[in-house]
Protein backbone atom coordinates (compact mmCIF):
# COMPACT_ATOMS: atom_id res chain seq x y z
CA UNK A 1 0.00 0.00 0.00
CA UNK A 2 1.21 3.49 -0.86
CA UNK A 3 -0.10 6.83 0.47
CA UNK A 4 0.78 9.84 -1.67
CA UNK A 5 -0.13 13.51 -1.98
CA UNK A 6 -2.86 14.50 -4.42
CA UNK A 7 -0.93 16.48 -7.04
CA UNK A 8 -2.31 15.93 -10.53
CA UNK A 9 -5.71 16.24 -12.14
CA UNK A 10 -5.77 12.45 -12.43
CA UNK A 11 -5.16 12.22 -8.68
CA UNK A 12 -8.03 14.63 -8.03
CA UNK A 13 -10.42 12.67 -10.20
CA UNK A 14 -9.42 9.41 -8.52
CA UNK A 15 -9.84 11.04 -5.10
CA UNK A 16 -13.36 12.30 -5.86
CA UNK A 17 -14.44 9.14 -7.69
CA UNK A 18 -13.57 6.82 -4.81
CA UNK A 19 -16.70 7.46 -2.65
CA UNK A 20 -18.95 6.53 -5.58
CA UNK A 21 -17.44 3.05 -5.53
CA UNK A 22 -17.33 2.84 -1.73
CA UNK A 23 -21.02 3.75 -1.27
CA UNK A 24 -22.39 2.09 -4.40
CA UNK A 25 -24.58 -0.21 -2.31
CA UNK A 26 -25.73 2.42 0.19
CA UNK A 27 -29.06 4.04 -0.84
CA UNK A 28 -28.71 6.69 1.90
CA UNK A 29 -25.40 8.13 0.72
CA UNK A 30 -25.77 11.48 -1.05
CA UNK A 31 -22.92 12.43 -3.42
CA UNK A 32 -21.32 15.80 -2.76
CA UNK A 33 -21.35 18.33 -5.56
CA UNK A 34 -18.39 17.49 -7.78
CA UNK A 35 -17.50 21.09 -8.84
CA UNK A 36 -17.47 22.24 -5.21
CA UNK A 37 -15.27 19.33 -4.12
CA UNK A 38 -12.92 19.84 -7.07
CA UNK A 39 -12.61 23.53 -6.15
CA UNK A 40 -11.32 22.43 -2.74
CA UNK A 41 -8.70 20.14 -4.26
CA UNK A 42 -7.59 22.90 -6.63
CA UNK A 43 -7.39 25.37 -3.71
CA UNK A 44 -10.03 27.60 -5.29
CA UNK A 45 -11.73 28.23 -1.98
CA UNK A 46 -11.83 31.18 0.43
CA UNK A 47 -10.52 28.87 3.16
CA UNK A 48 -7.05 29.36 1.72
CA UNK A 49 -7.16 33.05 2.61
CA UNK A 50 -6.77 31.88 6.20
CA UNK A 51 -5.56 28.27 6.08
CA UNK A 52 -3.35 25.61 4.51
CA UNK A 53 -4.29 22.09 3.45
CA UNK A 54 -3.19 18.96 1.62
CA UNK A 55 -4.90 15.79 0.48
CA UNK A 56 -3.63 12.21 0.37
CA UNK A 57 -4.78 9.11 -1.46
CA UNK A 58 -4.05 5.51 -0.50
CA UNK A 59 -3.57 2.90 -3.22
CA UNK A 60 -3.00 -0.83 -3.02
CA UNK A 61 -1.74 -2.53 -6.17
CA UNK A 62 -2.76 0.61 -8.08
CA UNK A 63 -6.35 0.59 -6.76
CA UNK A 64 -7.62 3.46 -4.60
CA UNK A 65 -8.51 2.21 -1.10
CA UNK A 66 -8.76 5.43 0.90
CA UNK A 67 -8.58 9.23 1.01
CA UNK A 68 -7.96 11.95 3.61
CA UNK A 69 -7.52 15.71 3.71
CA UNK A 70 -5.69 17.62 6.43
CA UNK A 71 -5.63 21.34 7.17
CA UNK A 72 -4.63 24.14 9.53
CA UNK A 73 -7.15 26.95 9.99
CA UNK A 74 -4.94 29.84 11.12
CA UNK A 75 -7.94 32.13 11.65
CA UNK A 76 -9.65 29.72 14.07
CA UNK A 77 -6.41 28.88 15.87
CA UNK A 78 -5.64 32.56 16.41
CA UNK A 79 -9.15 33.27 17.70
CA UNK A 80 -9.20 30.24 20.03
CA UNK A 81 -5.53 30.54 21.04
CA UNK A 82 -4.61 26.97 20.18
CA UNK A 83 -2.54 24.95 17.71
CA UNK A 84 -5.02 22.44 16.33
CA UNK A 85 -5.28 20.84 12.93
CA UNK A 86 -8.34 19.35 11.28
CA UNK A 87 -8.83 16.38 8.99
CA UNK A 88 -11.66 15.54 6.63
CA UNK A 89 -12.49 14.03 3.24
CA UNK A 90 -11.94 10.74 5.06
CA UNK A 91 -13.11 7.66 3.16
CA UNK A 92 -11.64 4.17 3.27
CA UNK A 93 -12.38 0.51 2.68
CA UNK A 94 -13.02 -1.76 5.68
CA UNK A 95 -9.37 -2.35 6.45
CA UNK A 96 -7.65 -1.14 9.63
CA UNK A 97 -4.29 -0.89 7.89
CA UNK A 98 -5.69 1.60 5.38
CA UNK A 99 -7.33 3.64 8.15
CA UNK A 100 -4.10 3.70 10.19
CA UNK A 101 -1.94 4.69 7.21
CA UNK A 102 -4.19 7.62 6.31
CA UNK A 103 -4.40 8.90 9.88
CA UNK A 104 -0.66 8.58 10.44
CA UNK A 105 0.05 10.57 7.28
CA UNK A 106 -2.31 13.34 8.42
CA UNK A 107 -0.77 13.37 11.91
CA UNK A 108 2.73 13.66 10.48
CA UNK A 109 1.67 16.58 8.24
CA UNK A 110 0.25 18.46 11.23
CA UNK A 111 3.16 17.61 13.52
CA UNK A 112 5.59 19.15 11.03
CA UNK A 113 3.57 22.38 11.28
CA UNK A 114 3.66 22.51 15.06
CA UNK A 115 0.09 21.39 15.74
CA UNK A 116 -0.71 19.72 19.07
CA UNK A 117 -4.13 18.17 18.34
CA UNK A 118 -6.05 16.78 15.37
CA UNK A 119 -9.83 17.25 15.19
CA UNK A 120 -12.26 15.75 12.74
CA UNK A 121 -13.59 14.59 10.49
CA UNK A 122 -14.78 17.88 9.04
CA UNK A 123 -14.06 18.95 5.49
CA UNK A 124 -12.69 21.50 6.55
CA UNK A 125 -15.03 23.77 8.48
CA UNK A 126 -17.45 22.69 11.18
CA UNK A 127 -20.22 23.26 8.60
CA UNK A 128 -18.82 20.71 6.15
CA UNK A 129 -19.91 17.13 6.87
CA UNK A 130 -18.73 16.98 10.50
CA UNK A 131 -18.27 13.85 12.55
CA UNK A 132 -18.70 10.10 12.31
CA UNK A 133 -22.23 8.75 12.17
CA UNK A 134 -23.17 6.98 15.42
CA UNK A 135 -26.68 5.83 14.53
CA UNK A 136 -29.58 6.00 12.07
CA UNK A 137 -27.64 4.58 9.17
CA UNK A 138 -31.04 3.96 7.57
CA UNK A 139 -31.83 7.57 6.64
CA UNK A 140 -30.12 10.09 4.36
CA UNK A 141 -27.98 12.74 6.02
CA UNK A 142 -29.35 16.19 6.72
CA UNK A 143 -27.94 19.11 4.73
CA UNK A 144 -24.14 19.38 5.14
CA UNK A 145 -24.14 16.53 7.68
CA UNK A 146 -21.85 13.55 7.29
CA UNK A 147 -22.74 9.97 6.43
CA UNK A 148 -20.39 7.06 7.11
CA UNK A 149 -20.56 3.26 7.52
CA UNK A 150 -20.48 1.78 11.04
CA UNK A 151 -16.90 0.55 10.77
CA UNK A 152 -15.58 4.14 10.60
CA UNK A 153 -16.68 4.73 14.19
CA UNK A 154 -15.54 1.27 15.30
CA UNK A 155 -12.01 1.79 13.93
CA UNK A 156 -11.77 5.23 15.55
CA UNK A 157 -12.85 3.94 18.95
CA UNK A 158 -10.53 0.92 18.73
CA UNK A 159 -7.67 3.31 17.97
CA UNK A 160 -8.31 5.22 21.19
CA UNK A 161 -9.80 8.36 19.72
CA UNK A 162 -11.67 10.56 22.18
CA UNK A 163 -15.03 12.14 21.39
CA UNK A 164 -14.78 15.92 21.18
CA UNK A 165 -18.49 16.71 21.07
CA UNK A 166 -21.85 15.52 19.80
CA UNK A 167 -23.43 16.98 16.67
CA UNK A 168 -27.15 16.32 16.54
CA UNK A 169 -29.51 16.38 13.56
CA UNK A 170 -33.23 16.42 14.33
CA UNK A 171 -36.03 15.11 12.16
CA UNK A 172 -39.34 16.97 12.47
CA UNK A 173 -42.51 15.42 11.06
CA UNK A 174 -45.65 17.37 10.29
CA UNK A 175 -48.60 15.92 12.12
CA UNK A 176 -52.35 16.20 11.75
CA UNK A 177 -52.12 19.26 13.99
CA UNK A 178 -50.48 21.26 11.22
CA UNK A 179 -47.01 22.64 10.69
CA UNK A 180 -46.40 23.28 14.39
CA UNK A 181 -47.63 19.91 15.53
CA UNK A 182 -44.12 18.66 16.32
CA UNK A 183 -43.39 21.62 18.62
CA UNK A 184 -43.81 21.40 22.40
CA UNK A 185 -46.98 23.07 23.65
CA UNK A 186 -44.94 25.56 25.71
CA UNK A 187 -43.25 26.85 22.55
CA UNK A 188 -46.52 27.02 20.61
CA UNK A 189 -48.14 28.96 23.45
CA UNK A 190 -45.31 31.49 23.43
CA UNK A 191 -45.52 31.77 19.64
CA UNK A 192 -49.24 32.60 19.80
CA UNK A 193 -48.51 35.42 22.26
CA UNK A 194 -45.78 36.88 20.05
CA UNK A 195 -47.94 36.77 16.92
CA UNK A 196 -50.37 39.14 18.63
CA UNK A 197 -47.62 41.56 19.71
CA UNK A 198 -47.20 44.44 17.21
CA UNK A 199 -43.51 44.81 18.14
CA UNK A 200 -42.60 41.59 16.36
CA UNK A 201 -42.89 40.41 12.80
CA UNK A 202 -41.58 38.09 10.11
CA UNK A 203 -40.47 38.87 6.56
CA UNK A 204 -39.07 36.87 3.69
CA UNK A 205 -35.64 37.47 2.19
CA UNK A 206 -35.36 39.88 -0.70
CA UNK A 207 -32.67 38.58 -3.06
CA UNK A 208 -32.89 41.73 -5.18
CA UNK A 209 -30.95 43.28 -2.27
CA UNK A 210 -28.62 40.32 -1.90
CA UNK A 211 -25.62 42.08 -0.36
CA UNK A 212 -27.68 43.74 2.35
CA UNK A 213 -29.45 40.48 3.18
CA UNK A 214 -26.15 38.60 3.15
CA UNK A 215 -24.65 40.99 5.70
CA UNK A 216 -27.71 40.58 7.96
CA UNK A 217 -27.33 36.80 7.93
CA UNK A 218 -23.55 36.89 8.45
CA UNK A 219 -23.92 39.22 11.44
CA UNK A 220 -26.67 37.10 12.99
CA UNK A 221 -24.77 33.87 12.38
CA UNK A 222 -21.63 35.07 14.16
CA UNK A 223 -23.49 36.76 17.04
CA UNK A 224 -25.85 33.88 17.73
CA UNK A 225 -23.11 31.23 17.80
CA UNK A 226 -20.56 33.32 19.71
CA UNK A 227 -21.62 31.68 23.00
CA UNK A 228 -20.31 28.28 21.89
CA UNK A 229 -17.05 27.49 23.64
CA UNK A 230 -15.11 26.62 20.47
CA UNK A 231 -16.72 28.96 17.95
CA UNK A 232 -14.52 31.11 15.72
CA UNK A 233 -16.37 33.79 13.74
CA UNK A 234 -16.84 32.78 10.13
CA UNK A 235 -15.22 35.13 7.64
CA UNK A 236 -17.07 36.99 4.91
CA UNK A 237 -15.41 34.87 2.22
CA UNK A 238 -16.10 31.53 3.87
CA UNK A 239 -19.74 32.39 4.50
CA UNK A 240 -20.13 33.72 0.97
CA UNK A 241 -18.95 30.36 -0.36
CA UNK A 242 -21.58 28.59 1.73
CA UNK A 243 -24.33 30.89 0.46
CA UNK A 244 -23.21 30.61 -3.16
CA UNK A 245 -23.48 26.83 -2.91
CA UNK A 246 -27.11 27.22 -1.84
CA UNK A 247 -28.06 29.89 -4.38
CA UNK A 248 -29.17 27.47 -7.16
CA UNK A 249 -31.89 26.07 -4.88
CA UNK A 250 -32.53 29.11 -2.68
CA UNK A 251 -36.17 30.19 -2.45
CA UNK A 252 -36.90 33.61 -0.95
CA UNK A 253 -40.06 32.22 0.64
CA UNK A 254 -37.95 29.75 2.66
CA UNK A 255 -35.59 32.39 4.10
CA UNK A 256 -37.27 34.15 7.02
CA UNK A 257 -36.12 37.09 9.11
CA UNK A 258 -37.58 37.71 12.56
CA UNK A 259 -38.06 41.41 13.30
CA UNK A 260 -38.19 43.28 16.59
CA UNK A 261 -39.29 46.95 16.40
CA UNK A 262 -38.65 46.87 12.67
Please say if the pLDDT value at position 109 is more than 70: yes
What per-residue confidence (pLDDT) applies to 154?
96
Q: Of the candidates 235, 247, 245, 243, which has an alpha carbon nearest to the alpha carbon of residue 48?
A: 235
Please say if the pLDDT value at position 237 is more than 90: no
Give the mean pLDDT of 93-99: 98
Beta bridge partners of 160: none
Give 11: exposed, middle or buried? Use CB within 10 Å, 0-12, 13-18, 19+: middle
Q: Of the candidates 242, 26, 18, which has an alpha carbon nearest to the alpha carbon of residue 141?
A: 26
Give the mean pLDDT of 49-53: 93
Give the mean pLDDT of 37-56: 93
Beta bridge partners of 155: none
As a whole number, the mean pLDDT across the chain is 91
Q: Of the candidates 29, 111, 98, which has an alpha carbon nearest to the alpha carbon of residue 68?
A: 98
pLDDT in tens, 110-163: 999 999 999 999 999 888 888 999 999 999 988 888 899 999 999 999 999 999
Q: Are 126 and 137 in contact (CB under 8 A)?
A: no
Q: Of the candidates 94, 117, 26, 107, which has an alpha carbon nearest to the alpha carbon of residue 68?
A: 107
Phi, psi of 201 (to 5 degrees): -160, 175
Q: Are 110 and 72 in contact (CB under 8 A)?
A: yes
Confidence tier at 260 by pLDDT (50, 70, 90): very high
Taking CB atoms within 8 Å and a gap of at least 24, the contacts of 129-137 are: 129/32, 129/88, 130/167, 131/167, 132/156, 137/28
By mean pLDDT, which of 12-16, 99-103, 185-189, 217-221 is the weakest?
185-189
Counts of helices then strands in the chain (DSSP H, E): 8, 7
Please say if the pLDDT value at position 185 is more than 90: no
For the chain, the residue count is 262
pLDDT in tens, 198-222: 999 999 999 999 999 999 999 999 9
Give the mean pLDDT of 253-258: 92
Give 222: exposed, middle or buried? Use CB within 10 Å, 0-12, 13-18, 19+: middle
Q: Of the candidates 40, 67, 38, which has an alpha carbon nearest to the alpha carbon of residue 52?
A: 40
What per-residue confidence (pLDDT) applies to 125?
84
Q: Where is 106: in which H helix or E strand?
A: helix 96-112
pLDDT in tens, 151-184: 999 999 999 999 998 988 887 776 655 655 677 8
What per-residue confidence (pLDDT) applies to 180?
58
Amino acid sequence: MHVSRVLTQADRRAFLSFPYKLYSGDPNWIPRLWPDQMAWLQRRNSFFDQGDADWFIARRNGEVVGTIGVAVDHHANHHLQRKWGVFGFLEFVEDKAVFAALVERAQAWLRMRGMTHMLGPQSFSANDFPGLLVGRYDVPAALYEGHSPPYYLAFAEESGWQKYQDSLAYRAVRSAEGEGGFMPERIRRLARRIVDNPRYGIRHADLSHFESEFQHVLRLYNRSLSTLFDFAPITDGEFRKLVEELMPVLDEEMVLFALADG
